Chain A
Amino acid sequence: MVSVGLSEEQRTELGARRTQRLSLRRRPRSGEAIIRAMLLGSGLLSIFTTVGIVVVLVNDALAFFLHPGVTLIKFFTDTVWAPEFERYGILPLATATFITSLIALSIAVPIGLSAAIFLSEYASPRARGYLKPILEMLAAIPTVVYGYFAVTFMTPLLRSIFGADVVDFYNMASAGIVMGFMIIPLVASVSEDALAAVPRALREAALGLGATQLETSLRVVVPAATSGIAASIILAISRAFGETMIVLLAAGAGPNFTLNPFKAAETITGHIARISTGDISQEGMDFYSIFALGLVLFLVTLLLNLISRWFVKRFREVY
């Protein structure tokens, strides 16, 4: 091995450099301080966004609730939403939101969960490599395209099955079913994460006792992942409540207090979107009322998201 020491000349040079030792004292690094401040500012922007949302919604919702004739009780109990008659009852919009979401979940949860179980418990890594992109594709499709699909495919299909006199052209069922397709990937991916996090030892214990793969999956792995799966379902509810384009296109363009899924009825989001299309004046009760609806929507989805986070956290703590 060639060991290269320093020549005498280099040694003197090094010694000279060393004698001007760097002071340990902190140097003014103003550039760095500015950068740090900017990074912090970017982080704080997200806080400002949240604060902004709350302030904006509360501000205009307040203008709505302070309007003579509008009371909180009436807002939550009146079954008619008809601004022209000064009747602002959220119930027709809320039931429509609820029914479309219920239909969506009754499709997305069983299919999404089964897909998750299959992917996590049965599929080989190779198969997963082919199957997961299908779900990712479903997740990537813009919601307006799902809305188009509901109007041009699902509605005619329902009408041809159940009869055009039973099924309205705009109806909650079509919107709900297609929304269910949209939510499948969400349920599947969050549930699959939860299932995959269940320790191998648990599966091996069950298999070792002679359980079949299905018994192991359904009786051991799924129960062990309950809180993660619960998180996925709650997230799905939140997504369904907040979805706009599908219901705007397919569910109907007018508040309608009905529980019949084949009837047209406007959801909260659909109403907000419809009222804000066109040249809405940026004052007046029409304008303020959508902020009251927005506030309700925001609070409900926020609550659902917090519950979902709590479930995920609890799940992480267990494993």
Chain B
Amino acid sequence: MVEVRLTLPSQSPAPATDGSALPVKMVLENVSVYYGTFRALADVTMPVYENHITAIIGPSGCGKSTLIRTLNRMNDTVEGARVTGKVLLDGEDIYASDVDPAIVRRRVGMVFQKPNPFPKSIFENIAFGIWLYNKRISRSELSDRVEMALKRAALWDEVKDKLKELGTSLSGGQQQRLCIARAIAIEPEVLLLDEPASALDPISTAKIEELMLDLKRDYTIVIVTHNMQQAARISDYTAMMMMRPDRAGELIEFDRTETIFTNPKDRRTADYVSGRFG
């Protein structure tokens, strides 16, 4: 097993593996996750670079979703979940006792595997998050920001005439872009996407990939995917995960996407990206 050891002074440009200095947005330090007594994630240490796309790949059940959900404390919602180690956001540990998880999620937005729009109007779907932290916002400003988010998610043209219709009445691909719009409407700094295209058709998938490349300029993106072509197409960095014999997920390799796909250090990575298993 190859230990990925990154000693990263937080808040300062870190030496990337290719030698250039990049700003680090988030850092995981020796992160383990337990569900009750079961250890789902073992000792993960890795950086998340600002304004880059980081892909997390690996066979199913290896803890990819668990890992991404530790980045905005979504694991808190799972009964009996416990996180050890540190997850730093701009140098601050988001698991410190005086941290408000709601604000963590405000700064680290998330899009889920299955589209989960609120059973409310398209407008309300986007507006809810904005309104939550700005309850005195004027109607017109709210409309502007909803419009901006929908435009950003490339959904505006399709829904601008039916903002009052239920979000759940849209097609699967549209619903997922609505969820992305909902996530970016609150202007997080980091955007987490947990297999956002797994339930979608190829055309919707292409749209979402294009969208991510566009969003990269303004957001730091982490995406879980089981689709290696997707990881290769859109990500800058890739984290390769595997399941240990005790069924805990571990990070076996982290590097530039190019390197992972062309010259991986770990044999299992090579096998996986070439489609020999997984």
Q: Is the CB of A2 within 8 A of B100?
A: no
B103 lies within 8 A of A23 (CB): yes
> How far is the CB of A26 from the nearest CB of chain B, in Å?
4
Q: Which residues of A contact B99 (CB under 8 A)?
A: 24-26
Of the listed stretches A5-13, A107-115, A132-140, A222-230, name the one at the interface; the rest are far from the partner chain.
A5-13
Interface membership of B247, Cβ < 8 A: no
CB pair B157 A2 closer than 8 Å: yes
Known: A2-B154, A27-B103. A18 touches B210 (CB 8 A): no
Contact A18-B154, Cβ < 8 Å, known A3-B211, A10-B148, A26-B100: no
Q: Given A1-B210, A3-B211, A11-B218, are A25 and B189 also a contact pair (CB < 8 Å)? A: no
B161 to chain A, nearest CB (A): 16
Given the known interface contacts A22-B106, A26-B100, A27-B100, the answer about A1 and B189 at a Cβ–Cβ threshold of 8 Å is no
Among B33-41, B88-96, B119-127, B232-240, the stretch that binds chain A is B88-96
Is B98 located at the chain interface by the 8 A CB criterion? yes
What residue in chain A is nearest B100 (Cβ atoms)? A26
Q: Are B187 and A17 in contact (CB under 8 A)?
A: yes
Question: What DSSP secondary structure best describes chain A's contact surface?
Answer: loop
B residues in contact with A126, CB < 8 Å: none
The proximity string for B residues 154-179 relative to A, scoring 1 for CB distances below 8 Å and 0 otherwise, is 10110000000000000000000000
Tell me whether A4 and B156 are in contact in the complex, defined as CB-CB below 8 angstroms, given that A18-B189, A21-B90, A21-B189 are known contacts: yes
In the complex, the chain B residue whose C-beta lies closest to that of A15 is B218
- CA gap between A162 and B100 in the complex, in Å: 77
Query: Contact residues of B with A, CB < 8 Å?
Result: 89-90, 92, 94, 96, 98-100, 103-104, 106-107, 133, 148, 151-152, 154, 156-157, 187, 189, 206-207, 210-211, 214, 217-218
Extra inter-chain contacts (14) besides given A6-B217, A21-B189, CB under 8 Å: A1-B207, A3-B210, A6-B152, A14-B187, A22-B106, A22-B107, A23-B103, A24-B89, A24-B99, A24-B104, A24-B107, A25-B99, A26-B100, A27-B100
13 contacts between A and B (CB under 8 A): A2-B154, A5-B214, A5-B217, A10-B148, A22-B103, A22-B133, A24-B92, A24-B94, A24-B96, A24-B103, A25-B100, A26-B99, A27-B100
User: 9 nearest interchain CB pairs?
Assistant: A4-B151, A26-B100, A24-B99, A3-B214, A22-B103, A26-B98, A1-B207, A24-B103, A24-B92
